[in-house]
A = this chain, B = another copy of it.
């Protein structure tokens, strides 16, 4: 029996991964069913069959599991974002692809999570700021910076621009999820045109000193 022992060689390692996974899965279920505010560490750990003390070998608190779930979401999305960058050859193309990918992503998550959740309970996905989300932000900003360097976009404040894009994607995304039927194409069209249309109108930064003229 050697075919499973690729990454988790020892039994110790295996159970550690399995337990972490089990806790995360249980947490997702419990948050879905009871709502985040009400769910307790005990509710989560009970569902896994593990002892209460074990929980604290993996997470420091209920909040930390929540954050880990959110981080998971961002971590899953980041490679998609990366792929958008690599597949596109223009700034416009990248932006549209990235936004479309994001809306598809959250629409998919939304379906998966559809349970009998109390009222407007927040999803872990995008509610808090996690390290992985910070990286998503940085990736977007860097993509913009590179586009600016290459002349694919005007020389604007990439930091503000990234913040604005992510903000628009998030909020319009949320609104999109509230509508029936969920129309990711319509939302993408809206967000993309807003940003790409606004881009040329943005205030320019002073051009960075370059070699004089050639």
Contact = CB atoms under 8 A, between A and B. Distances in A.
Interface residues of A, number: 34
A194 B202 contact: yes
Contacts of A53: none
A157 B191 CA distance: 11
Contacts of A87: none
Interface string A157-194: 10111011011101110110000000000110111011
Total identical chains: 2
Interface in A179-214: 186-187, 189-191, 193-203
Interface of A: 37, 63, 120, 129, 157, 159-161, 163-164, 166-168, 170-172, 174-175, 186-187, 189-191, 193-203
Given A161-B194, A164-B191, A197-B197, 13 more contacts: A159-B175, A163-B175, A164-B171, A167-B167, A167-B168, A190-B202, A193-B202, A194-B199, A194-B201, A194-B202, A196-B198, A197-B200, A198-B199
